[in-house]
Each structure stands twice: as C-alpha cells, then as structure tokens.
Amino acid sequence: MESKSRAVLVLLLPLLLGMRDPFIPPDDPCRTAQLSRWQYAGSVDSGQRQIAFLRDEKGKWRRIQREDVLMSGWRITEITTQSLTMETGEACEPSQWRIIKGEIEHDKKDKPAGAVTAAAAGRQ
C-alpha cells in the first residue's frame, strides 16, 4: 500500500510543483515557431511599390508590401529581390526575421531549356 502511494506521489510531483507537461508544446505568443516554414518566392516592382510573394505555413500564397502587418503582428520592414525582412516584435525572440529567396516546390520540376533539347537529341 505504501509503495502505491509513493508511486502516485512521484507521478503527481511535477504537477504539484507547477512544472509543465513535457508532451504539450511550449507557449509561443509571438508564433515564431512557424517562421521557418514560410517561403519567399521573390518580388515585382510596380512603379511606386514593390510587391513580394510569400507562402505561409499553411501553403497559402500572399502578396505583401513594405509596412504591411501580417495576422501574427509581424511587420514587413524590407523587401529586396533576394530576401524579405520582418519585425516580429520587441518582446519576441528573434525580434527580426529574414527569409531568403530559395527553391520552391515548382522550381524542382522546371528544367533549363538546354537540358530538354540535349535529352531530345540523345534519343534521335
């Protein structure tokens, strides 16, 4: 009987001491954990403004421009042809995040024009 009460005490001790459940993800009020899943595809200069194309963590494409505020409270501070910089907030870590233009899913399927003609020439 005493061993059962000790086992229960050992199992409940973290809860009694106020420790968090290790199986529940930590609280992320700034939502910075999702930043690594965002993709920057580039930008287009349309006269007085530059529009960037960004894919969020859910796979939805967004058209954004400088000084836009995203739903998570992040503010776009800089857009270049190769990168996009945003502020996540003063209380967030990191306070700034830069997404560099990288290979996106459809780029892997595209082949250079020379590769197609060389493959076709090899078959003849």
**pLDDT one-digit tens code per residue, 73-118:** 889 999 988 999 989 877 788 888 888 987 554 444 555 555 444 4
Q: Give all domains of the chain, ordered by start, each with its CATH number.
A: 29-103 (2.30.30.830)
Structure confidence at residue 77 (pLDDT): 93
Task: Name the most confidently modeled range: 20-29, 38-47, 97-106.
Answer: 38-47
Two tokens, residue 87: 């502020």
Residues in the chain: 124
In the numeric block, the tokens 């502020």 are attached to: 87
Residues 54 and 41 sit within 8 Å (Cβ to Cβ):
yes
Which pTM does this prediction carry? 0.58
